[in-house]
Amino acid sequence: MFKAIAHIVWAVDYHIMRKIIIIGATSGIGRELAKIYAGEGNLVGVTGRRQELLYTLQLEYPNDIITQCFNVTEEDNTLHLESLIRKMGGMDLFVYNAGYGDISKEPNWNIDHRTVSTNVNGFMEMLHVAYRHFAAQGHGQIAVTSSIASLRGSSQAPAYSASKAFQSNYMEGLYILFKKQKRPIYITDIQPGFVDTKMARATKTFWMASPEKAAKQIYNAIEQKKWRVYITHRWWLIAKIVRWMPDFIYHRIG
């Protein structure tokens, strides 16, 4: 009964003021998304490895931004996130935007290890903290920035595409599970194409989007509680083509 009442109150106040945590908000999409939510008057908790960048973001929105500096590949991540939730007095939306990937012409343990530590291990650890919080309060939303690279293997960054496939498949599984259980914990799997970041600049790219444009479309998808979205929207066409492309063709270009 209490959880049902809490969910009704949350639904009424959803567009008034929310408590949002973004993991990985020092730059790029995460930073721009934090600006959007803070600009609306929401309370936004931001995390990242670089304290100075978190501090400059907090200076822009001193009444709306709370920071917690930590690296998702290191120890005590659970304690850091739980501490941030307490400082904010709760959480309504959790966004996992931390990510790592690099180009490698051959298997590279340093790249692969960091990729899996960030995109798989860190992702799972942080997501489970968020889930426990939402399960206890009876509602919430989890969004993860995966990638269009999750669709199939990549010869340029095998660990990256594999780790993003893990994220997207796990999110789809949660979406189906919560839908079957009729639980108001919403799932949003975000699959960007090329966004103007360090990794994208290292490859031959097309349809490059600015972090600002990507963040705006991601914001809209989260607000609409879409379970999966391609960023920018026209990447859905590439997703369809790549997903159904015969192996003998994809293996020449992938």
- Domain ranges for the chain, please list them: 2-253
In CATH terms, the fold of domain 2-253 is Rossmann fold (3.40.50)
Catalytic residue, chosen from 160, 170, 175, 230, is: 160
pTM of the model as a whole? 0.88
> What is the model's pLDDT at position 198?
62
- Residue ranges of alpha helices (H) inside the chain are 2-13, 28-39, 51-60, 77-88, 109-116, 123-137, 158-181, 198-201, 211-223, 235-244, 247-253
| Ordered DSSP codes for 172-197 | HHHHHHHHHHT-SEEEEEEEE--BSS
Give the bridge partners for 195, in sequence order.
209
User: What would the two tokens of residue 41 be?
Assistant: 């008057």
Indicate if 131 belongs to the active site.
Answer: no
- Residue count (the chain): 254
| Ordered DSSP codes for 102-115 | ---SS--HHHHHHH
> What is the model's pLDDT at position 11?
47
DSSP 148: G
pLDDT in tens, the chain (254 residues): 545 544 544 444 445 789 999 999 999 999 999 999 999 999 999 999 999 999 999 999 999 999 999 999 998 899 999 999 999 999 999 999 999 989 888 999 999 999 999 999 999 999 999 999 999 999 999 999 999 988 888 888 999 999 999 999 999 999 999 999 999 999 999 999 888 766 555 555 666 788 999 999 999 999 999 999 999 888 778 878 877 777 788 688 77
